[in-house]
Amino acid sequence: MSKGCAIVTGASRGIGAEIAFELAKSGFDIIVNYNNSKSQALSILEKIKQNGGNGSVFQCNVANRSNVDKMTEFALRTYGKIDVLVNNAGIAQQKLFTDITPDDWSQMLNVNLGGVFNCCQSVLPSMIHYKYGRIINISSVWGTEGASCEVHYSAVKAGIIGLSKALAKEVAPSGITVNVIAPGCIMTDMLTHDFDESTIKELAEETPVGRIGTPSDVARAAAFFASDFAGFITGQVLGVDGGFK
Ligand code: NAP
């Protein structure tokens, strides 16, 4: 029997794809959100279905509010209510602070923080109506520690933490929890696009557990926050970083 509906943003690749798969294993019907990678999103849905799960794909740019509202309407029309929202979609960019253009800054803000704002505000009326919801926001170790050459990324990832802590207090009386996962270095396209092999090796050596994380490491933490075990936990930031910070 279905445990309800979970929207996972940026679920076509990397961490989001694994979160979608893990939540489907837990019994949720999944909205596999993607922006550009349609065929990869369809493959994730196929994998979910082959493992006995259920869900749908939905194209939507999380930075665009009317796109997001259409995704919410689709989820409500298809599954009746939204139990879980995982705000995972994100972009990264490596640049010296002095080279960051106003457009780079706006893009980073609009996707990584604006996307969280849009999705939370869009799904909350339904969650409040049903007096139940689990919101899980994906920040980063750089959001708590700051990273050189990623000032705009670090700023918006810190913003996600502020947003989540404040929202957690506001919606707790409505039976909704809001928690944050702050991953360390996780092996996805984002990491391999930004860093060469020797830098990734160095990052693994700098990580106390001695390895780069896997999308599955993060997905299991998300499944915990979505589960009945986490009902009394809200406004928290869980580092999934192998002891990196
Ligand atoms: P990734 O492999 O680059 O995947 C990014 C995902 O986000 C893709 O599914 C992409 O969808 C989606 N996305 C990007 N912009 C979008 C938009 N405007 N609307 C909807 N979806 C959008 O990245 P990842 O490593 O899995 O990262 C996932 C999250 O974890 C991000 O928030 C990232 O900041 C965070 N994180 C990652 C690491 C790491 O080391 N990998 C560490 C800390 C935090 P399409 O391909 O369909 O466009």
Kindly list the domain boundaries of the chain, sorted by start residue. Answer: 4-184+216-238
Predicted confidence at residue 129, as pLDDT, reads 98
Q: Is the pTM of this model over 0.95?
A: yes
The pLDDT mean for the chain works out to 98
CB distance 222 to ligand 1 below 6 Å: no
| Helix (H), strand (E) at residue 8 | strand 5-8
Report phi then psi at 239, rounded to 5. Answer: -75, 125
Query: Has residue 110 got a pLDDT over 90?
Result: yes
Query: Has residue 143 got a pLDDT over 90?
Result: yes
Q: Is 84 left (phi over 0), alpha (psi -120 to 50) or beta?
A: beta
In the DSSP assignment, the letter for residue 1 is -
> Mind listing the pLDDT tens digit for each residue in 148-186?
999 999 999 999 999 999 999 999 999 999 999 999 999
Q: Which fold has domain 4-184+216-238?
A: Rossmann fold (3.40.50)
Sign of the dihedral through C-alpha 191, 193, 194, 196: positive
Is 153 catalytic? The answer is: yes
Burial class (CB in 10 A: 0-12, 13-18, 19+), 125: exposed
From 33, 35, 192, 207, give the residue whose CB has the most ligand 1 atoms within 8 Å, as the site to mutate. Answer: 35
Predicted confidence at residue 245, as pLDDT, reads 85
Predicted confidence at residue 1, as pLDDT, reads 85
> In this structure, are residues 64 and 35 in contact, taking their beta carbons and an 8 Å threshold?
no
Q: Residue 134: which residues within 8 A CB-CB, separation 6 or more?
A: 83, 84, 85, 176, 177, 225, 226, 230
Percent of the chain with pLDDT over 70: 100
CB distance 14 to ligand 1 below 6 Å: yes
The H-assigned helical ranges of 56-101 are: 65-79
Q: How many residues are present in the chain?
A: 245
